[in-house]
Amino acid sequence: MDNRSREELAAVLSGPGCTVAQKIAAFVRYYNEKAGSDDPAWQVSKEAWQRYEFLGDRILNLAAAGLLFSGNPACDEGTMTQKMGVVANESLAAIAGHKGVDTSLLVPAAIGQQQAYGDAIRGGAIEACIGAISACAGLFTAVSVARDFLAGEIEAYDPSANYIGRLQEHFQQSGRPVPVYAERSRTGPDHQPVFTYSVSDEKGRILGTGTGSSTAEARQNAAKEALGLLHPA
């Protein structure tokens, strides 16, 4: 991509008046046009997607840390560290839903061949897109889009409601392997599925089960039940 093209793309993605969903859709159109495709889904190879995902993960962490540091002067290091859970893949998937980003258009068929994408893939799709924006339009533009994506979400993020993180911390403090989550069932119509997940310890003992309208919600509810078992009121 020549310098003029990079500058044009950066201007579109950094300009005012567009939602983050519109910016991501504009980037996908631009990327596909350069590849000679008019497909609405992102035409990117599995290998490139995974490399972009690696880069985007770091950029989202940078953007979140900057927003936390500048926007929360009263927060201590421990609180800011807990708040960084906002860039976990499951949180990114939930934010994408809030902000109208259609992550199904950001996942190559080779990675998401199943009909219902998991939250890890949805979150990874946001990371990959941010990484690709950095490669195509520069780091400054990618950080700007990442900040748009996270705007208002850090303030709303409640670390105490991150039962998955709390359960993992319990296991790590005990020197045990992290718990394992497994999908038990998926019911309901495709447009309104209900997921059931379990969480087990290193010996395969089920500690909790949970249901939800997304895999993230079901896993959180399973972890919540497990914490109730480990730390009864």
* Residues with catalytic function: 57, 127
Dist. CA 230–CA 207, nearest whole Å: 8
Q: What number of other Cβ atoms are within 10 A of residue 153's Cβ? A: 18
DSSP-derived 3-state class of residue 210: strand
Torsion of CA 30, 125, 143, 166, to 10 degrees: 170
User: 10 Å Cβ neighbour count for 3?
Assistant: 7
d(CA 27, CA 12): 9
Helices (H) and strands (E) in the chain, counts: 10, 3
How many Å is the Cα radius of gyration of the chain? 19
- DSSP code, position 186: E
Please provide the DSSP assignment of 34-49 as one string: HTT---SS----HHHH
